[in-house]
Amino acid sequence: MHDQESPENLPDEPAPKPVDESAYAVLRQPDYTRYLIGRFVASLGQQMLVGAIDWELYRRTQSALSLAFVGLSLMIPMILCTVPAGHFADRFNRKKIILVTTLVLAVASLGLTLASAFLLNVIWIYFFLAVIGAARTFLWPASAAFVTSLVPRSQFARAVTFNSGAFQLSSVVGPVAFGLVVALTPHAVEHNTAWSVYALNVLASIACFTLVLPIKHIHKEKSAEPVSAKSLIEGFRFVYQNKIILGTITLDLFAVLLGGAVTILPIFSDHIFHVGPNGYSWLRAAMPIGAVVCMFIIAHRPPLQKAGKTMLWSVAIFGVATILFGIANKNCFGNWLALPNSFWFWFAFSMFALAGAVDNVSVIVRQTLVQILTPDEKRGRVSAVNSLFIGTSNELGGFRSGIMAWLFTTPTFLGGKEATGAIVSTVTGGIGTILVVLAVAWIWPEIRKYGKLA
């Protein structure tokens, strides 16, 4: 495992010369490449699963509230398990944690398969979602800290870029694959069931387990630090004391909490654009498509020279793109701007793709800073805090958008009641995101001043 400089010394020391200037040099690390492929396969299965759950629940209940509870089911175990997850990632073998949690995800997906195939009460879907939420909470910090042992320090920013790109690529392929699998499954659309998608995720988890198992990883025994409340919450203390990490995590948390609209996309596809499951798949893939394009651009450019300002501008553009996505439909403009529904659909798609591109910039900056500014013996706990912030923002953001859409489901000049709720939820979230950027830039000026990302 490569030793890391202490956080307080990093800004004053020159970065080591890269081992290879090639943008793809990091892929010549065989263990990292194997791990990247494994995580891509697992993430692809998860993206299919999440899209299928949103689709199935809305088709079976016709309620935005059912979509809100998806985020809540994933968020509660995340909050309960974050502290022990960080401690485990710092005290125990990170590879073993990844393998065990991957198997738990496979079992939970098998449970979803049976619950969907036999059309059991939707409460069972929420139960297995809670199991998935708990397993992911232990997986994420171990996974984030594990990558630092697979690549040299000089290639870590590239590794983060490819990790993010692999996740976003799975997010592009996942929704499309979900639509194809459901379409090819006999009677799936008529019965509003996606059991075949959940079954494929079982296989994806097993494939990831098989790829990660041979990776050579030597677990470094940590000093015998007694388990105490202080040691367990060390990650929170470190994040609070490091203003750059605290500010970037806070920015991402509130931006996604307010600006996320992915959960309510079934409402946009059914009641605003009237495009059905196929259109829903395209909308679901829009942000990841933008993120993948962004990943290739960043991979072929030198490290960001003004990382702090770039991150702030990226999140601000994310907010603007979210607002434009929310109002890009004939419900908002009516006869004043008489354009075909197909125009509004693809314009909204492009705005969501733009949001995905700039969001990926923010993700790369945040994930790189969290790892390079944290000493190895604390990486698991700090990564757990980071996962809590980001995971909570995604799931609580889904809950917020679903609740807002449900609260505003009243007929207005915007069209049907479902359209009104979705539009109000999305536009107000985008406005809130822009306000958060201004607040973070004022409260933590260190972020504006942060320079080269390396």
- Residue 286, both tokens: 């829009």
Q: Are 331 and 343 spatial neighbours (Cβ–Cβ below 8 Å)?
A: no
Helix axes 30-61, 123-147, angle to 10 degrees: 160
Q: Is the pLDDT of residue 372 over 80?
A: no
CB neighbour list of residue 146: distance below 8 Å, 6 or more residues apart: 35, 94, 95, 98, 217
- Cα 373 to the chain's mean position, in Å? 21
Least confident residue range of 11-25, 31-45, 179-193, 300-314? 11-25
- Residue 114, both tokens: 């049976």
pLDDT of residue 95: 92
Least confident residue range of 8-12, 129-133, 305-309, 386-390? 8-12
pLDDT of residue 201: 94
Mean pLDDT of the chain: 81
Question: What value does the mean pLDDT take over residues 402-429?
Answer: 74
pLDDT of residue 19: 43
pLDDT of residue 70: 86
> Between 173 and 210, where is the model more confident?
210
Split at pLDDT 50, 70, 90, the class of 13 is very low
pLDDT of residue 232: 53
Count Cβ atoms within 10 A of the Cβ of residue 33 and give its class: 0-12 exposed, 13-18 middle, 19 or more buried. middle
Q: Is the pLDDT of residue 37 over 80?
A: yes
pLDDT of residue 22: 66
Tens digit of each residue's pLDDT (9 = 90 or more) over 240-249: 888 888 888 8
Amino acid sitting at position 182: V
Q: Are 130 and 76 spatial neighbours (Cβ–Cβ below 8 Å)?
A: yes
pLDDT of residue 173: 84
Q: Is the pLDDT of residue 295 over 70?
A: yes
- Highest average pLDDT, of 88-102, 225-239, 299-313, 332-346, comes from 88-102
CB neighbour list of residue 405: distance below 8 Å, 6 or more residues apart: 64, 67, 264, 267, 418, 421, 422, 424, 425
Question: What value does the mean pLDDT take over residues 347-364?
Answer: 89
pLDDT over 70, % of the chain: 86
Return d(Cα 306, Cα 381) in angstroms, integer.
28
Q: Is the pLDDT of residue 269 over 70?
A: yes
Split at pLDDT 50, 70, 90, the class of 6 is very low
pLDDT of residue 218: 63
pLDDT of residue 161: 77
User: Given the structure tokens 């406005």, which residue do they identify?
Assistant: 431
> Between 245 and 377, where is the model more confident?
245
Question: What value does the mean pLDDT take over residues 138-164?
Answer: 81
Return d(Cα 385, Cα 238) in angstroms, integer.
10
pLDDT of residue 150: 85
Question: What value does the mean pLDDT take over residues 296-314?
Answer: 80
Split at pLDDT 50, 70, 90, the class of 12 is very low
CB neighbour list of residue 326: distance below 8 Å, 6 or more residues apart: 261, 422, 423, 425, 426, 427, 429, 430
Q: Is the pLDDT of residue 436 over 60?
A: yes
Return d(Cα 170, Cα 291) in angstroms, integer.
11
Return d(Cα 212, Cα 346) in angstroms, integer.
39
Tens digit of each residue's pLDDT (9 = 90 or more) over 159-199: 877 887 788 788 778 877 887 888 888 877 677 788 999 99
Q: Residue 219 — φ and ψ, nearest 5°?
A: -80, 120
pLDDT of residue 324: 93
Q: Is the pLDDT of residue 251 over 50?
A: yes
Split at pLDDT 50, 70, 90, the class of 4 is very low
Split at pLDDT 50, 70, 90, the class of 268 is confident
CB neighbour list of residue 366: distance below 8 Å, 6 or more residues apart: 248, 249, 252, 311, 386
All structural domains of the chain, each given as residue ranges with its CATH number in brackets, are 25-217+228-449 (1.20.1250.20)
Split at pLDDT 50, 70, 90, the class of 454 is low
Question: What value does the mean pLDDT take over residues 122-145?
Answer: 91
Q: Is the pLDDT of residue 8 over 60?
A: no
Q: Is the pLDDT of residue 213 over 60?
A: yes
